[in-house]
A and B are shown apart, each in its own frame.
Chain A
Amino acid sequence: MNWTSVRVPLVIAGALSIVATACAPSTAPSGASPAATAAATAAATVAATAAPARGGTVVFAVWQEPTTLAPIYANQTVAGVVGDAVTEGLAMTDPEGTYVPVLAKSVPTVANGGVTLSSDGKKMTVKWELQPGLKWSDGKPVTSQDIVFTWQTYMKDPKAVSRAGFSEIEKIDTPDDVTALVAYKSLYGPYPTNFYALLPKHLLEKEADISKSDYNRKPLGTGPFKITEFKAGDSIVAERNENYRKPGKPYLDKIIFRSVPSSTVAIAQLKAGEVQGMWNLLESETPDIEKEPTLKLSFSPSNSVERIEINLAENADPADPSKPHPILGDVRVRRALIHATPKQQLVDKLLFGKAKVGSSVNPQGWAADKTVTQEPYDPKKADELLDQAGWTKGPDGIRAKGGVKMSLTINTTTGNKTREQVEQVLVDEWKQRGIELKIVNMPSSVFLSGSWDDKDPRQRGTYDLALYTTNAAIDPGVHMSQRYHSRQIPTAQNKSGQNRVRISDGELDKMIDEAGNSIDQAKRKELYGKIFRKINEIAPAIWLYERGRIDAFRTNVLGWVPHAWGNITWNTEDWSLKK
């Protein structure tokens, strides 16, 4: 390695990463090109076909510290990276986004008789059957009682990370040890992944507060590995689960998750061979990895869409949703902004091509409609639309209408270099269209706090344009109703509403309700396609690019497969070391 070429970037990057950690959003930053994904998947598949060697240890670097591994509390992506090797649920999504059984025999559907509707069609019962002979890693049997216990515990513990789905359950009957009849009060579409992790009743029923038990850091699961050591802030050791249900697996003896302070350090350790894999690279870090013949990148698309959300209501504290924004309230202006945004250039120049131009709020998974598009980059069209809308250029080159100057403010998180660069590109681009763009950035703990009382500008409505990313789950039901239904516009009465673009459209509301109250996947897919299209018609956001997940391994680690919906550690039972 050349001394001078390494020193400067590493030192600067190190310094930056120290600053950036303070403001980094907790979402996994990443990006991917579909071609690269296909190549990586193919490579991994080829590797997996050779007979894998048994034994060995992989040290995997994570550059955030998992704080708790208990699925009931864990809220960090990185906790899931470790947890996926240990805890399992009834069903999961495979890399393509279809539901597949994990501990269950099959995924219940209406078609296979596993889901039955009440006579009025407003309630449903889901019949889960466990695979026979399942054991927790301590050798105790997994029973339908664990399913009941999981539901009860999520509903009882006030600190549970989410009660989504669980709060819709009326009761669970257990006719025998392997069957659970889960009765929902409503039609709950995302039921297949509701039980994403089972809690062991025999271990936890005596605990008054799970947070005080060892389970917090060493959760007992059914996965290929079990946690044997948790050194806070340092490392987590996962050893082979001898009671794992798949014979002969896992191949590895051990995976050690090592928590390092930054991705820069993780890359240095990966290059030095101190670790064999690492989680979560930034797009800008990929060229450096690609140069190394002993390293390999894992790309996967994701549902995380970097966007600029547009405030449809006036910029005021608090915003009155019935008063449209003086500039952005006009759909022609919003479309003009989209036409004036060079998405492909952003992807090529700022993200090293490791992302895909955005087109829809939900570009991946079964609900995605690949035919949904958004206005292409077309500066001339943008000018036309702005002229039509009555915004004419003044002597200073900035458009104005009725005494109002076309001056907008964009907010994003401080310390995120890519986002800051995007803002700068837009300031230049939009200036040529006669739009003045001002940059005001804030720490993510403010900008993304989601809290009315902590004055998140998106919550109060004190913003024009908000640049950030968020992701819809494999089932877009919750995301759509929370973020695009007029019921969820944040106000002093409904402080925690998440419809921050303040979109209010009767037809959209109706479709969101209808899709949410149905469990017929084909019908829902059609409805969501219409919803995504309708959202693009109203244009409350510029979908900049779809970020991917990027992880990296040394070439002697085999068997890993990128996963669009899960973590790179979703199939650790197949990982092995080259002989």
Chain B
Amino acid sequence: MGRYVARRLIQAVPLLLLISVASFALLKAAPGGPLAAYESNPLVTAEDMARLRSAFGLDQPLPVQYVTWLSRFVLGDWGYSYAYHQQVLGLIGERLPNTAYLMGTVYVFTLLVAIPIGIVVAIRQYSWFDHLTTGATFAFLSTPTFWLGLLLIIVFGLQLGWLPLGGIDTPGTSFDVVDRLRHLVLPVLTLSLVGLGRYTRYLRASMLETIHNDYIRTAWAKGLNERGVVLRHAFKNAASPLVTIAALDLPELFVGALVTEQIFGWPGMGRLFWDAATRFDYPILMGILAVSSGLIVFANLVADVMYGYLDPRIRYT
């Protein structure tokens, strides 16, 4: 097991390098550049543009720019944001807690709601509850988050006035749990309703497959109670696909939600990435892309290791 994990980690290094080269090349291939923002400033002269280009290293050949970025990145210097005039690591550091707070809540909330629903709709297949949730989950699955988010803002923020329209707290006030929670409700709801659909559908399908197996019938036959059969025998075996999806979603705790953070003005990683993309702030984009690709590789490994725990038949070599 230990050797398996070590081998997977070593294999990940060339893969991550390849991803970083590809991301860098793609970012640079996109037409345009970060200095467009200086264009409309009447004070900025042609000489200033040339000076800034060289100060940001944008006048260097692309391979040189990449190698400079990589050699600094591995040493912990993630680069200098052109727009913020700050170190990228610091910028990510101040946004990460906000995103982890939002996405962590979404993650836990979604799982807590999705698992019971997924189990119940499977064992009560074709009941009114199954039909209701099937309909609802499909509806939410096919709803774009920006639409759902705006709809919730209009209903609960503007029309009813129950909840704030956006932001992480009321600016200028000191820390207040109630205020924080009130700001959390709508973005969490937006993201969870969509995620809920995915999780319940997967769990329902794999539960249905499992509960018609012979060993489940055996468990019933030997007189185990429903709780034991469903949770210990059926759920544990049916959970594998859910674990894969849930583990693969883990990087979102870091990356954040691009569109939802934008709509709710949430000061997180998604919005940082979005803003950096519109400004061609390459160092921020590269930093986030590098870490998120690393996390995705890692999440895959976590999912594989979790299989072994859930299904002892799986052996690692």
Q: Are A67 and B83 in contact (CB under 8 A)?
A: yes
Cα distance A14–B260 in the bound complex, in angstroms? 12
Q: Are A496 and B49 in contact (CB under 8 A)?
A: yes
Q: Are B150 and A237 in contact (CB under 8 A)?
A: no
Q: Are A162 and B45 in contact (CB under 8 A)?
A: yes
Q: Are A268 and B267 in contact (CB under 8 A)?
A: no
Q: Are A162 and B85 in contact (CB under 8 A)?
A: no
Which single residue of chain A is at the shortest CB-CB distance from B272?
A233
* Interface membership of A1, Cβ < 8 A: yes
Given the interface contacts A59-B171, A472-B42, does A158 sit within 8 Å of B83 by beta carbon? no
Which single residue of chain B is at the shortest CB-CB distance from A304?
B40
Q: Are B46 and A158 in contact (CB under 8 A)?
A: no
Chain A residues 3-53 with CB under 8 Å of chain B are 3, 6-7, 10-11, 14-15, 18, 21-27
Cα distance A472–B42 in the bound complex, in angstroms? 6
User: B172's contact among A163, A232, A256, by CB below 8 Å, is which?
Assistant: A256
Q: Are B153 and A268 in contact (CB under 8 A)?
A: yes
Cα distance A260–B266 in the bound complex, in angstroms? 9
Which single residue of chain B is at the shortest CB-CB distance from A443?
B32
* Interface membership of B294, Cβ < 8 A: no
Given the interface contacts A59-B171, A73-B85, does A478 sit within 8 Å of B45 by beta carbon? yes
Tell me how many residue pairs across A and B have CB atoms closer than 8 Å. Answer: 206
Binary A-proximity of B252-290 (CB < 8 A = 1, otherwise 0): 000000010011110110011011011010000000000
User: A471's contact among B40, B45, B166, by CB below 8 Å, is which?
Assistant: B40
Residues of B within 8 A of A76 (CB): 37
Q: Are A261 and B39 in contact (CB under 8 A)?
A: no
Q: How far, in Å, is A89 (CB) from chain B's closest CB?
A: 13
Given the interface contacts A256-B171, A497-B46, does A261 sit within 8 Å of B35 by beta carbon? no
Q: How far, in Å, is B49 (CB) from chain A's closest CB?
A: 5
Q: How far, in Å, is B30 (CB) from chain A's closest CB?
A: 8
Q: Are A216 and B85 in contact (CB under 8 A)?
A: yes
* Interface membership of A418, Cβ < 8 A: no
Residues of A within 8 A of B158 (CB): 1, 6, 268, 271-272
Binary A-proximity of B99-115 (CB < 8 A = 1, otherwise 0): 00000000000000000
Q: Are A450 and B94 in contact (CB under 8 A)?
A: no
User: B42's contact among A73, A237, A473, A496, by CB below 8 Å, is which?
Assistant: A473
Q: Are A237 and B171 in contact (CB under 8 A)?
A: yes
Chain B residues 135-163 with CB under 8 Å of chain A are 146-147, 150-151, 153-154, 157-159, 161
Residues of A within 8 A of B154 (CB): 6-7, 10-11
Which single residue of chain B is at the shortest CB-CB distance from A451?
B33
Q: Are B168 and A234 in contact (CB under 8 A)?
A: yes
* Interface membership of A259, Cβ < 8 A: yes
Binary B-proximity of A420-458 (CB < 8 A = 1, otherwise 0): 000000000000000000000011111011110111000
Cα distance A3–B159 in the bound complex, in angstroms? 8
Cα distance A443–B158 in the bound complex, in angstroms? 33
Q: Are A259 and B46 in contact (CB under 8 A)?
A: no
Q: Are A162 and B43 in contact (CB under 8 A)?
A: yes
Q: Are A232 and B91 in contact (CB under 8 A)?
A: yes
Q: Are A161 and B43 in contact (CB under 8 A)?
A: yes
Q: Are A450 and B38 in contact (CB under 8 A)?
A: yes
User: B95's contact among A27, A232, A256, by CB below 8 Å, is which?
Assistant: A232
Q: Are B172 and A27 in contact (CB under 8 A)?
A: no
Q: How far, in Å, is B98 (CB) from chain A's closest CB?
A: 8
Q: Are B85 and A68 in contact (CB under 8 A)?
A: yes
User: B39's contact among A448, A455, A494, by CB below 8 Å, is which?
Assistant: A448
Given the interface contacts A67-B85, A68-B85, A159-B52, does A18 sit within 8 Å of B262 by beta carbon? yes
* Interface membership of B209, Cβ < 8 A: no
Q: Are B161 and A22 in contact (CB under 8 A)?
A: no
Q: Are A261 and B263 in contact (CB under 8 A)?
A: yes
User: A470's contact among B33, B40, B48, B153, by CB below 8 Å, is which?
Assistant: B40
Chain A residues 153-173 with CB under 8 Å of chain B are 158-159, 161-164, 167
Q: Are B35 and A446 in contact (CB under 8 A)?
A: no
* Interface membership of A116, Cβ < 8 A: no
Q: Are B48 and A445 in contact (CB under 8 A)?
A: no
Residues of B within 8 A of A22 (CB): 277-278
Q: Are B35 and A259 in contact (CB under 8 A)?
A: no
User: B151's contact among A11, A272, A479, by CB below 8 Å, is which?
Assistant: A11
* Interface membership of A556, Cβ < 8 A: no
Residues of B within 8 A of A26 (CB): 36-37, 39-40
Residues of B within 8 A of A229 (CB): 172
Cα distance A366–B207 in the bound complex, in angstroms? 78
Cα distance A45–B165 in the bound complex, in angstroms? 33
Residues of B within 8 A of A212 (CB): 87
Q: Are B94 and A232 in contact (CB under 8 A)?
A: yes
Q: How far, in Å, is B212 (CB) from chain A's closest CB?
A: 44
Cα distance A175–B32 in the bound complex, in angstroms? 49
Q: Are B172 and A59 in contact (CB under 8 A)?
A: yes
Binary B-proximity of A224-268 (CB < 8 A = 1, otherwise 0): 000001011111010000000000000000101011110001001
Q: Are A21 and B278 in contact (CB under 8 A)?
A: yes
Q: Are A496 and B46 in contact (CB under 8 A)?
A: yes
* Interface membership of A269, Cβ < 8 A: yes
Which single residue of chain B is at the shortest CB-CB distance from A7?
B154
Chain A residues 323-347 with CB under 8 Å of chain B are none
Given the interface contacts A162-B41, A232-B95, A478-B45, does A68 sit within 8 Å of B86 by beta carbon? yes
Chain B residues 11-56 with CB under 8 Å of chain A are 31-33, 35-56
Residues of A within 8 A of B264 (CB): 261
**Which of B36, B147, B263 gathers the greatest number of chain A CB atoms within 10 Å?**
B36
Cα distance A280–B193 in the bound complex, in angstroms? 34
Q: Which 9 A-B pairs have the closest CB atoms?
A: A445-B32, A233-B267, A235-B171, A496-B46, A158-B55, A473-B42, A234-B267, A450-B39, A162-B43
Binding site for B on A (CB under 8 A): 1, 3, 6-7, 10-11, 14-15, 18, 21-27, 57, 59, 65, 67-68, 70, 73, 75-76, 158-159, 161-164, 167, 211-212, 216, 229, 231-235, 237, 254, 256, 258-261, 265, 268-269, 271-272, 274, 442-446, 448-451, 453-455, 469-473, 478-479, 482, 488, 494, 496-498
Residue contacts A-B, CB under 8 angstroms, 15 given: A14-B150, A15-B150, A18-B263, A26-B36, A70-B85, A161-B38, A216-B86, A233-B268, A233-B275, A268-B157, A268-B165, A272-B157, A446-B32, A454-B33, A473-B42
